[in-house]
Amino acid sequence: MKKILVVDDEREILELIHLVLEQAGYQAVSCDSGRQAWDVVQREKPDLIILDVMLPGIDGYSLQTRLSQEESTQNIPIIVLTALEPSKTLFKKFSQVKAFIPKPFKKEELLANIRSALQPQEIPPGA
């Protein structure tokens, strides 16, 4: 069973995504701050992270930057889920960001992006 970490400071969003993930057969782990998220990533070793941008303590962009710099976390696929549409351009430079979903989100869109992000990446011949 794939483990997905959800990082969002809105309790209703966390509960909704948790329910959607569990109904779809994923193991959901959640936290509500960027500072806490780093510790949870180290401890839980998730297969995918759903990340909000606006977080208390360490914001989503700073957390993404740290994740991309650490060898142990730089290959975890990330889906950015945010109400801040303009922040999309900030995350484009990170190859591990597989999708950018605006809030409010559609359950089907979220699950389709999760399935896509968890697909094994094709390794080009000769690479």
Predicted confidence (pLDDT) per residue in 59-101, tens digit: 999 999 999 999 999 999 999 998 877 778 888 889 999 999 9
E strand intervals along the chain: 3-7, 27-31, 48-51, 78-82, 97-102
Q: Strand pairing partners for 48?
A: 4
Instruction: Report the pLDDT value the prediction gives residue 88, as an integer from 0 to 100.
Output: 81
- Calculate mean pLDDT across residues 102-127: 83
Res. 124 pLDDT band, cuts 50 70 90: low
Return the bridge partners of 3, or none: 27
| pLDDT category of residue 125 using cuts at 50, 70 and 90 | low
CA angle 67, 79, 68 (to 5 degrees): 15
Residue with tokens 């290959």: 75
In a 10 Å sphere around its CB, with 0-12 CB exposed, 13-18 middle and 19+ buried, how is residue 21 labelled? buried
Three-class secondary structure of residue 13 per DSSP? helix
| More confident of the two residues 58 and 29 | 29
Q: What is the mean pLDDT of residues 105-124?
A: 87
What pLDDT was estimated at residue 89?
83
So where are the chain's domains?
A: 3-118
Query: What are 19-56's pLDDT values in tens digits?
Result: 999 999 999 999 999 989 999 999 999 999 999 999 98
3-118: CATH superfamily: Response regulator (3.40.50.2300)
Task: Say how many residues make up the chain.
Answer: 127
